[in-house]
Each structure stands twice: as C-alpha cells, then as structure tokens.
C-alpha cells in the first residue's frame, strides 16, 4: 500500500518566510529517512529540509526562488508499507504519466511567487517558456520577462516614461547587469531602514590601545590552539563588553513605549560577514557566565557554522547587544546601525594599526608607537544618554588596556 506525505516548510523559522534555494533530490529519487531534500534560505540562515521517512520524491510543488511561508507545502513523497515494497520501489523508477496538452493547460500550476509576479507585472505566465523542472515557469522567468518588456535605454524618453521608467539623472552607456536580491540582502535592507526609522541613533567614538590584549593573546594562543580553540581578538571584545555592562547595565536593554527593559543575561550577537551574501549575527548566550576560553570556543563554533551555512534559526534569536568588527575589512572608523531592533546599542571595532601617540612617563611626555583601534558605541538615544554611553566605552577601553597578563 502506498501513501503520500507532504514536505512542508518549518512552522518556526527566523523571519516570516523563506525562499526555496535548491532541490537536492529529483522527482523519482528514492530517499531514506533523514536525507536532505531541499535547501531553504531564510533572511538569516540556510537550512535543509530532511525526509521524515523512507520513500520516493513524487512531486516538487515549489521551485527555486519561490517564497515558502511557514508551513507551506514544498513537495510530496510517496511512502511504502513495511512489507518490503519500499525496497522494490528503490529499483523501479516512479513512472510519471505526462498529461495531454489540454489537461496540462487546464491544470497548469504556478507557484505563489509566480502568481504574485503575474499580478504585479501584468504578464501571463502561460505565455512564457519555463526554465524550471519539466518546463515550469519560475519567478526568475517572470522577472526576466519584465526586464525584456522594458524599453531599451536608448529608446526615446517619452517611450520610457510611458512604460513607467524614470529617466536617469545622469546619462549611462547602457551597459549594466541585473543581480537579483537574495532573501538575506532584502532582510538586511528592511532591518536597516526600519532601525533608522524607529530609533534616533547617536555614535560615540573612543580609541583603545591593544598592547595588553596582544601580549596576552600571544602568550596563550598556542596553549588554546592545542585544545582546538582559536583565540581571536573578538573574544576579548565580548569579555570587555560584559565587564562594561556591569558598570552600565542600561546598555544591555530594550526600549518599550512605557518602560526600559534591562536584561540580566548578556546575549551578544557577533556580526559575521558572508562576502557578497551579506552578514549574520549569531548569539553568544549568557556571556556573563563565560571565561575567555569558553567565549573563544563558542565564537569559533558560530563562525565556522556561519560560513558553512550551518547556523540554525535558534542561533540568531534572543540577542540583547551586538558587536560589529568592521575593521577586519579595513575600516578605521564606522558608526554601525543597530542591526537588531529593539536592542539599545551596537559596538563597532575599527582596524587595528600601529600609531604614534603621546604617553606621559614619570611626568614627562613621550612619543610611542602603539597598536591602536577606534571603538564606537551607537546607541538608541531613547534608551541611553551621552554620559551612559561614554561611561560604558570608558570601562570597555579600560578593561582592554589593563588586561592582566
């Protein structure tokens, strides 16, 4: 006896929707329980949807690029009873009977993303040659059709205006390429715009001498490496942030219309760049309970999984503060926007470089060369004022500069 089981997008996922990114199995493939079937890309992570049992992939309901809201049907599997029919099915490909042209036309299926594009663009998907599996029309096909329908840049201005295109302010040579936004890029754009629209944000900038933590790291990194732990500078930033929170707890907070919620647990998001894809900020939870070595180990785990698309939705939730080490890409000074509203602050770490500075020694000014970096704290000015911001940064810098050896 054969049954059908639906393959659905997770009910609980980071964000309100995901995008089908890549089917790992084809119709007719026999799969085992636990085999990865399809990859979904949410606005923060990429996750695999696995088979819940042995069976055969019998239908793909959503193609690459389609939106998958929580609980949406991605496809279907045919399952066999335990009498051995499943093993037999593995040797016999599933036979899919092609529909007659009339039946296929009457039963044409278009994904939600394609139907939405049809409404917005005024393009009938039936008029297109699909690039998806079995000739199915995808959202990308609709987007390409829209671009093809637009007048060429060299067309008269009147023709372009009639087509709804605003003439460019500066003449272009007509050479360009279209790069569709990923779900992550669109999410970052929405979050940044919403963050600035929601909160008045102010940035304070201090300078930190890294001599002490560089010396400590040099003396301890080999010992930790032998344990499989990479001791990064970011681990020191996390530890110093925890120390600063003890002095100014309001930084670890969230603004509400009628109160300020100050958290006991310090859950620090670490901004990790993923190249052109964007960035993610997985969470080190209860950082106040961790020593430097444990912080470094958790950082390494999160970073490795972020860069291999192995983060889970839970890794991204519950942050109360964020650190952005923008200096790793060469930036001296930046004022990061609060990534995750409604957090009250985000710390920025600039590029580490040797600078000539003046230090007083035995009452006399001396010129020294020190490893320095600019550090910034961007705050929600509803939650925090300047004296709290500066007190927090002062303590953060002091902890780094007075790090015990």
Catalytic entry in 134, 265, 304, 385:
385
Query: What are the C-alpha distances in Å from 204 to residues 77, 248, 348, 396, 400?
Result: 56, 15, 10, 13, 18
**117, HSE (Cβ side, Cα atoms, 13 Å):** 24
* Angstrom distance (rounded) from CA 153 to CA 150: 9
Q: Give the whole-angstrom CA distance, residue 303 versus residue 324.
A: 13
Instruction: Return the closest-CA partner of residue 395 out of 231, 242, 214.
Output: 242
DSSP one-letter code for 201: E
User: 3-state class of 286 per DSSP?
Assistant: coil
Q: Supply the angle between the helices 211-225 and 233-247 in degrees, to the nearest 10.
A: 120
Question: 141 catalytic, yes or no?
Answer: no
Q: How far apart are CA 188 and CA 73, in angstroms?
A: 26
List the strands of the sheet with 2-8, edge to edge.
2-8, 73-80, 55-60, 30-31
Pairing of strands 18-23, 46-50: unpaired
Whether residue 315 lies in the annotated active site: no
Rounded to whole angstroms, the Cα distance separating 39 from 379 reads 36
Name the residue among 371, 322, 376, 331 with its Cα closest to residue 351: 331
- Catalytic amino acids? 381, 385
């Amino acid at each position: 006896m054969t049954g059908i089981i639906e393959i659905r997008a997770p009910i609980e996922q980071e964000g309100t929707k995901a995008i089908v990114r890549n089917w790992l199995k084809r119709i007719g493939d026999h799969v085992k329980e636990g085999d990865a079937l399809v990859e979904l890309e949410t606005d923060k992570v990429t996750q695999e949807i696995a088979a819940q049992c042995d069976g055969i992939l019998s239908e793909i309901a959503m193609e690459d690029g389609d939106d998958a809201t929580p609980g949406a049907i991605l496809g279907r599997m045919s399952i066999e009873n335990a009498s051995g029919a499943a093993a037999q099915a593995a040797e016999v490909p599933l036979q899919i009977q092609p529909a007659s042209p009339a039946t296929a036309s009457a039963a044409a299926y278009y994904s939600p993303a394609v139907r939405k594009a049809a409404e917005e663009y005024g393009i009938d998907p039936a008029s297109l040659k699909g690039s998806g599996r079995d000739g199915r029309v995808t959202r990308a096909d609709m987007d390409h059709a829209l671009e093809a329908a637009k007048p060429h840049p060299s067309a008269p201005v009147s023709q372009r205006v009639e087509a709804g295109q605003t003439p460019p302010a500066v003449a272009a040579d007509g050479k360009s390429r279209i790069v569709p936004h990923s779900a992550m890029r669109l999410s970052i754009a929405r979050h940044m715009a919403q963050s600035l629209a929601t909160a008045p944000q102010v940035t304070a900038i201090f300078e930190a001498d890294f001599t002490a933590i560089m010396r400590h790291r040099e003396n301890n990194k080999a010992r930790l490496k032998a344990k499989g732990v990479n001791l990064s500078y970011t681990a020191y930033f996390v530890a110093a942030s925890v120390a600063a929170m003890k002095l100014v707890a309001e930084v670890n907070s969230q603004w509400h219309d009628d109160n300020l919620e100050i958290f006991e647990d310090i859950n620090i998001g670490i901004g990790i760049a993923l190249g052109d894809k964007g960035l993610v900020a997985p969470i080190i939870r209860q950082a106040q309970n961790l020593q430097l070595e444990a912080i470094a180990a958790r950082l390494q785990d999160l970073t490795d999984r972020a860069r291999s698309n192995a983060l889970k939705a839970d890794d991204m939730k519950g942050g109360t503060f964020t650190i952005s080490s923008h200096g790793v890409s060469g930036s001296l000074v930046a004022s990061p926007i609060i990534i995750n509203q409604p957090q009250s602050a985000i710390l920025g770490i600039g590029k580490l470089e040797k600078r000539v500075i003046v230090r007083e020694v035995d009452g006399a000014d001396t010129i020294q060369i020190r490893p320095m970096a600019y550090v910034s704290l961007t705050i929600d000015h509803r939650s925090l004022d300047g004296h709290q911001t500066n007190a927090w940064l002062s303590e953060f810098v002091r902890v780094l500069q007075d790090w015990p050896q």
